[in-house]
Amino acid sequence: GGIITQTPKFLIGQEGQKLTLKCQQNFNHDTMYWYRQDSGKGLRLIYYSITENDLQKGDLSEGYDASREKKSSFSLTVTSAQKNEMAVFLCASSLTGGAYTEVFFGKGTRLTVV
Amino acid sequence: GDSVTQTEGQVALSEEDFLTIHCNYSASGYPTLFWYVQYPGEGPQLLFRASRDKEKGSSRGFEATYDKGTTSFHLRKASVQESDSAVYYCALSEWGNNKLTFGQGTVLSVIP
């Protein structure tokens, strides 16, 4: 098996601040994802990447940048944190194999903006 | 675009009660359907999936049947336990597409 490690676990930022979330996986998966989780809204895709240096926008990419520096790591940047924003950001990975592929998730980074 | 709708936002049951969580989907093609479960402090994990009409997915006493006619994939369990308390997500993925589209999630609380 493998594991997805997200750092930090908790992130508190100031309004307008640029904040970076990091993710590492040791599954040797090609595809990695960032999802945002809000209570009552489910998980919404921010960015995904099917290989190193590839980036694809999801439904919620505005206000975020991403970077796939190498196969095992995928970073997400909140470009300007919004006051009172609270959400959990989930990193995930999978094989690049089509619709039947299982996606594996990390435990999340909880963001609070004051 | 694709979408998934879960009718119940929160469900509270007693142990040994029957569980149903409704999931309906809208997709342009022929998607694979999933149920994921998220326990407190953890990320979502796959419960099971189904990719063909009338296929039944199952795991740990939970089951759902892919119904293309009614575009549904309802989650059921005959007798819930306190350890089943978690958030349950219905999701879909289209062929040729690595992305999962999730429903809003259902918080299940089972009272002993």
Partners of A35 on chain B (C-beta within 8 Å) are 102
Is the pLDDT at A39 greater than 90? The verdict is: no
CB-count burial class (<10 Å; 0-12, 13-18, 19+) for B10 = exposed
Q: Which residue of A has its CA nearest to B105?
A: A42
Is the pLDDT at B97 greater than 80? The verdict is: no
Is the pLDDT at A41 greater than 90? The verdict is: no
Q: Do A58 and B43 touch (CB under 8 A)?
A: no
Q: Do A43 and B44 touch (CB under 8 A)?
A: yes
SS3 A83: coil
Q: Closest approach of chain B CAs to the CA of A114, in angstroms?
A: 23
pLDDT (0 to 100) of residue A83: 86
Q: Which residue of A has its CA nearest to B50?
A: A100
Is the pLDDT at A65 greater than 80? The verdict is: yes
What is the maximal distance between C-alpha atoms in chain B? 44
Q: Do A103 and B94 touch (CB under 8 A)?
A: no
Q: What is the Cα–Cα distance from A98 to B96, expressed in whole angstroms? A: 5
